[in-house]
Amino acid sequence: MPTLNWKGKLLSPPTPATLTLDSLLFPKGRGYPKARPDGRVIFGDNFAVMAALLPEYEGRIKLIYADPPFFTNRKFQARVGRGEDSRKPSKWKMAEGYHDDWADLDAYLQFLYERLTLMHRLLAADGTLYLHLDWHANSYARLILDEVFGAENFINEIVWTYHGPSPIRTAFNRKHDTILMYSKSKDYVFNVDDIREPYNPNTLATFKASRKAGFGKIPDLERGKVPEDWWYFPVVARLHNERTGYPTQKPEALLERIILASSNKGDLVADFFCGSGTTALAAAKHGRKFITCDEAVRAIHTARARLAGTKSVFTVERDVRMKTEVASKSKKIKVKAGDGLVTLQTSLDVDFWEIDPDWNGKTFRSAAQAQRHVRSGVIPMELKIKIGGKVCIRLVTVEGKQFQLNV
């Protein structure tokens, strides 16, 4: 079997992260139900985080979706603030997103190799990996996956097609990504009936017109067809409600198909390149448990805010080596609490705020949250909540500044 080699190819044992609990989030102001968390959002480098998860999760994760940097050698920024007019890029408000720049291809391949090896260990025997890349590196990744998973465990090369503007005038517009799908064994979960889609109206008309269409085989037209390995889903564009402003956000519909196909309700789904949190969100909406991780603070913030809109109780954790600045005072922020209502007054552009109505001074238990609507820019400044003892609020501005204030 041919294998891919590069300068510095090595599997060195990872140093596990030391994870600490940052907060527990109970969505939709339901107080603190005595539920065990369904999900974990972890701030840290995924190499160290996956290593820290091994003792508990080795061989237990049913599905891993990985959407790493693509080796574009670019720095991606997040678009923040109120509404963006696509015709006036100079007016966009930007903030740090994530970096996809590398010393060289060797460094990138080594980065992928050591992480894919840990993902393979974390996957359950009937688990599946989806690795999302594009033309920059997918040909190398295919060989790495053959080595780590075994070429016999290759299942699909899925092509995700989309439209969009492009400056290219010397080649065809590059408008597809490649998702490589590998299982850990021959016995893997694939829920074919959960991902069927309606037949094309032309196909339906052909079968209606002639019983002999389809070489005499009449498919179950009502049941729908198994999708091909090329998918069309629109990219998350400016006017889409799901848009967060986080760079290279993937469509929820794409993750839904993957989750429905390759996991069952109650299964554990992981995404160690969380970004805006699309996988965790789709997992939560479909009754799956989730673990997601990112090393960019904006990604963690974006994912947490999105997940606050689901029913899932989840933890936010971090590797102790990841430091974030959290201010505990600001003249620009005033908070009033009483009579089951917490009111925020501030001149800051707030993106997200949350309340612990019975602050124990240790773990922030977020029992009510408000977030800015991306398109309208509106965020509720009052939240109803039963106040138990001391009230503590946390707040994140659109620029990414964080505050934690005792009321």
Smallest separation, CB 379 to ligand SAM (Å): 21
Q: Judged by CB under 6 A, does residue 38 bind ligand SAM?
A: no
Q: Using CB under 6 A, pick the residue from 231, 246, 314, 352 that binds ligand SAM.
A: 246
Nearer to ligand SAM, 299 or 335 (CB): 299
Smallest separation, CB 76 to ligand SAM (Å): 8
Q: Judged by CB under 6 A, does residue 46 bind ligand SAM?
A: yes
DSSP characters over 330-392: -TTEEEEEETTEEEEEESS-EEEEEEETT--SSSEEE-EEEE--TTT----SEEE----S--E
Q: Which stretch binds ligand SAM (CB under 6 A): 62-70, 101-109, 213-221, 331-339?
A: 62-70
Q: Which stretch binds ligand SAM (CB under 6 A): 13-21, 207-215, 247-255, 284-292?
A: 247-255
DSSP characters over 77-104: EEEESS---TT-GGG-EEEEEEEE--S-
Smallest separation, CB 41 to ligand SAM (Å): 12
Smallest separation, CB 300 to ligand SAM (Å): 9
Q: Which stretch binds ligand SAM (CB under 6 A): 31-39, 222-230, 244-252, 259-267?
A: 244-252
Distance, in Å, from the CA atom of 252 to the CA atom of 271, rounded to the nearest integer, reads: 14
Smallest separation, CB 276 to ligand SAM (Å): 3
The token pair at 143 is: 């060989």
What is the residue whose two structure tokens read 């009579």? 339
Residue 256: half-sphere exposure toward Cβ, Cα within 13 Å: 9
Smallest separation, CB 273 to ligand SAM (Å): 3
What x/- string results for residues 299 through 338 when contact with ligand SAM is judged by CB under 6 A? x---------------------------------------
Nearer to ligand SAM, 45 or 256 (CB): 45
Q: Using CB under 6 A, pick the residue from 275, 292, 368, 371 that binds ligand SAM.
A: 275
Q: Using CB under 6 A, pick the residue from 278, 310, 369, 371 that binds ligand SAM.
A: 278
Q: Judged by CB under 6 A, does residue 69 bind ligand SAM?
A: yes
Smallest separation, CB 243 to ligand SAM (Å): 11
Nearer to ligand SAM, 77 or 404 (CB): 77
Q: Which phi and psi angles does 46 have, rounded to 5°?
A: -65, -25
Q: Judged by CB under 6 A, does residue 273 bind ligand SAM?
A: yes
- The radius of gyration computed from the CA coordinates of the chain, to the nearest angstrom, equals 23
The token pair at 29 is: 């102001």
CB 123 within 8 Å of CB 184: yes
Q: Which of 116, 119, 128 lies closest to 153 in space, CA to CA?
A: 128
Angle between helices 252-262 and 278-285 (to 10 degrees): 60
CB 279 within 8 Å of CB 251: no
Edge-first strand order for the sheet with 39-43 is 230-232, 154-161, 176-183, 123-133, 61-66, 268-271, 289-294, 39-43, 314-319, 19-25, 364-366
Q: Using CB under 6 A, pick the residue from 153, 276, 315, 397 that binds ligand SAM.
A: 276
Q: Which stretch binds ligand SAM (CB under 6 A): 210-218, 262-270, 274-282, 334-342?
A: 274-282
Residue ranges of the alpha helices (H) in 71-200?
105-122, 138-149
Q: Using CB under 6 A, pick the residue from 109, 293, 367, 383 that binds ligand SAM.
A: 293
Q: Judged by CB under 6 A, does residue 110 bind ligand SAM?
A: no
Q: Judged by CB under 6 A, does residue 250 bind ligand SAM?
A: yes
Angle between helices 105-122 and 138-149 (to 10 degrees): 40
- DSSP code, position 273: S
Q: Note the residues at the interface with ligand SAM (CB under 6 A).
A: 45-47, 67-69, 98, 246, 248-250, 273, 275-276, 278, 293-296, 299
